[in-house]
Amino acid sequence: MIQVQGLHKRFGSQEVLRGLNLDIATGEIMVVIGRSGGGKSVLLKHLIGLLRPDAGTVAVDGTEITRLRGGELDRVRQRYGVVFQGGALFDSMSVADNVAFPLREKTRLGHAEIRGRVEEKLEQVGLTGMGHKNPAEISGGMRKRVAIARALVTEPEIVFFDEPTTGLDPILVNTIHHLIMELHRKFRFTAVMVSHEIPEIFEIADRVAVLHDGTIVEVGAPEAVRASANPIVQQFIRGDIETMPSGQRP
């Protein structure tokens, strides 16, 4: 579904991505892990088309999006859903209006059809009857559910999750992870998730990619990554700060 080849990105004197390569298969949940500031969100922004690389390519179903602009890029993005870090809900809108926003902006659906889709998605994330509330009136876990409903309301082929459980307690982290798994089984979208939730994230990933120093140093099934002989991978999984290579401590 997505092929990343030789991706380089520099901001001033800081080289964030250094020839990164990654293939993401259709229908899988790919989770990208790595230390804070290591380039995970920068990679995600390239996949979405919000950033252009200094070198390298990003292809979606064989279409190189790094060369697209305007309407051509928008047509690719219509296949996307995005769950932003923190949810990024509009505080001035109700829950229902937040979920309806992509449909009103991107489609010509009528009011009744939009309302039906919104109610359906809220039911699927366990928020039946909550559409009239504002984001400030619901819990943090519920706000994450609203963000997921909004990402899925356009029935995307690819969904990007940027730290979807940030700020939640361990029970809610597992609740949201299981919700994502349930929705993935139902709709079979391709999922790309950036996460810090170790070891919980290994339970929902089909494959895990470890991003370190601007490149993918390990990629594979969760059990293979857990068993990796690469000391960088093991240090990150264990959170072993003392033995991390010089210059790589957070």
Tell me which H or E stretch contains 85: none
* pLDDT score, position 250: 41
Contact 177, 165 (CB under 8 A): yes
* pLDDT score, position 223: 95
* pLDDT score, position 4: 97
How many angstroms from the chain centroid is the CA of residue 10?
Answer: 22
* pLDDT score, position 241: 58
| Neighbouring C-beta atoms of residue 64, cutoff 10 Å | 12
List, for residues 174-215, the tens digit of each pLDDT value.
Answer: 999 999 999 999 999 999 999 988 888 999 999 999 999 999
List, for residues 157-178, the tens digit of each pLDDT value.
Answer: 999 999 999 888 889 999 999 9
Strands 14-24 and 2-11, by their bridges, are antiparallel
Q: Is 33 helix (H, G, I), strand (E, B) or coil?
A: strand
**What domains can you pick out in the chain, each with its CATH number?**
1-79+188-243 (3.40.50.300), 80-155 (no CATH)
Contact 60, 100 (CB under 8 A): no
Given a cut of 50, the residues of the chain with pLDDT beneath it are: 242-250
* pLDDT score, position 247: 47
- Burial readout 144-167 (b: 16 or more C-beta within 10 A, e: otherwise): bbbbbbbbbbbebbbbbbbbbbee
